[in-house]
């Protein structure tokens, strides 16, 4: 259960097309992440699947049945929003039970499903109200309320954007573990490519409503189809090199990951000047202004490496890991 297929789906707002016609298939049990910059159409696409927006053209099938004109409540999906949308006067247990009460489920079945949802680190908080919870705990309640619906698929619309950095990491792991436990299809929207890389089975990269590439995290990281994907996937971002340094390597533009560059004080392919360094324990990220290259390069080096500001160094890329792009930004070879 949870197989979703979009066929020629288009969305217009007035005379403006925000989602040009696209096709997308999401297999049962997959964890699929829609990723892209703000305004790229990822939340709109999620809302089309949920039925919260009407499509202009095309069809949406859920488990082989046409759901294009079905209202949200009939699609068998559960959505978790950026805002928690909890009832402040109800306890955690009552908030989780709310959709089951509306559906008229028997009390015993409600309790069974609440116990199942409480496994998401909520057992000790069932009698508390939302105002007594942290942001992470409130988001767990919102997810628990979705779990009890036992949907064909979960839809997450940037659910962690209101949390601080440490909580985001913890909740990423909890949602990933939840997916493994439930084995239910999950579609997750984020602008944070680190979330996409760490959580997804399959990533859908969107740009102005257009699907730029679909694939596993490592497929997109190792083989970006174009410059847009190359720049967007990976942290720190891929180094983009143009000018004579690129044409000498048979490309209009080169892309090289920070870990595929080596530094030397003595010799190498490109000479440059050390800028700011970021020491992160096991790794040090060193910015280098390479002679004749417009963009500053980032080099990933061992954590113990120390170079002074304005030191002269040489930078050498790994030949096998250089990504070459043509004048249109498309991958060569």
* C-alpha–C-alpha distance, residues 272 and 285, integer Å: 15
Class of domain 4-230: alpha beta
Give the pLDDT confidence score for residue 268 in this predicted structure.
95
Q: What's the pLDDT at 122?
A: 87
Handedness of CA 168, 173, 174, 178 (dihedral sign): positive
Question: Does the pLDDT of residue 56 top 90, yes or no?
Answer: yes
Identify the band that residue 83 occupies on the pLDDT scale cut at 50, 70 and 90.
Answer: confident
**255 touches 224 (CB < 8 A):** yes
- Residues of the chain with pLDDT > 70: what percent? 100
For range 186-209, the mean pLDDT: 95
The answer to whether 184 and 151 have CB atoms below 8 angstroms apart is yes
Sorting pLDDT into bands at 50, 70 and 90, what band is 161?
confident
Q: pLDDT tier at 251 (50, 70, 90 boundaries)?
A: very high
239-325 fold: OB fold (Dihydrolipoamide Acetyltransferase, E2P) (2.40.50)
Domain assignments of the chain as residue spans, ordered by start: 4-230, 239-325
Put simply, whether the predicted model's pTM sits higher than 0.75 gets the answer yes
When pLDDT is averaged across residues 296-300 and rounded to a whole number, the result is 96
Closest CA to 68 of 149, 154, 151, 6: 6
pLDDT classification of 333: cutoffs 50, 70, 90 = confident
Confidence tier at 162 by pLDDT (50, 70, 90) = confident
Inform me whether the pLDDT recorded for 84 exceeds 90: no
Band of pLDDT at residue 5, cut at 50, 70 and 90 = very high
C-alpha–C-alpha distance, residues 77 and 61, integer Å = 12
The confidence band for 130, taking pLDDT boundaries of 50, 70 and 90, is: very high
**Which residues does 2 contact at the CB level (< 8 Å), separation at least 6?**
26, 28, 29, 30, 63, 152, 153, 184, 185
Q: Over range 68-82, report the average pLDDT.
A: 93
Note the pLDDT of residue 285: 96
């Amino acid at each position: 259960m949870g197989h979703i297929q979009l066929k020629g789906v288009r969305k217009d707002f007035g005379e403006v097309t925000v989602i040009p016609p696209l096709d997308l298939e999401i297999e049962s049990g997959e964890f699929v992440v829609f990723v892209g910059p703000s305004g790229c159409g990822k939340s709109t696409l999620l809302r089309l699947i949920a039925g919260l927006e009407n499509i202009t053209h095309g069809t949406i099938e859920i488990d082989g049945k046409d759901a294009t004109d079905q209202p949200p409540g009939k699609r068998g999906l559960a959505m978790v929003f950026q805002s928690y949308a909890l009832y402040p006067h109800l306890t955690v247990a009552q908030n989780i039970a709310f959709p089951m009460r509306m559906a008229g489920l028997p009390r015993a079945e409600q309790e069974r499903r609440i116990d199942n949802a409480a496994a998401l680190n909520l057992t000790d908080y069932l009698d508390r109200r939302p105002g007594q919870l942290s942001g992470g705990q409130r988001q767990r309640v919102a997810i628990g309320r979705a779990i009890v619906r036992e949907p064909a698929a979960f839809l997450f619309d940037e659910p962690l954007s209101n949390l601080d950095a440490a909580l985001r990491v913890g909740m990423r792991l909890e949602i990933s573990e939840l997916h493994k436990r439930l084995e239910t299809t999950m579609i997750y929207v984020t602008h944070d490519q680190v979330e996409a890389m760490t959580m997804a089975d399959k990533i859908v990269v969107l740009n102005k409503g257009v699907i730029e590439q679909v694939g596993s995290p490592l497929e997109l990281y190792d083989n970006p189809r174009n410059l847009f994907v190359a720049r967007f996937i990976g942290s720190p971002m891929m180094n983009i090199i143009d000018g004579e340094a690129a044409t000498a390597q048979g490309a209009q533009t080169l892309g090289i990951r920070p870990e595929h560059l080596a530094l030397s004080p003595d010799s190498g392919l490109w000479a440059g000047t050390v800028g700011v360094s970021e020491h992160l324990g096991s790794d040090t990220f060193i910015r280098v202004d390479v002679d004749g290259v417009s963009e500053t390069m980032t080099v990933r080096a061992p954590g113990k490496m120390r170079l002074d500001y304005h030191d002269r160094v040489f930078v050498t890329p790994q030949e096998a890991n250089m990504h070459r792009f043509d004048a249109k930004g498309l991958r060569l070879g």
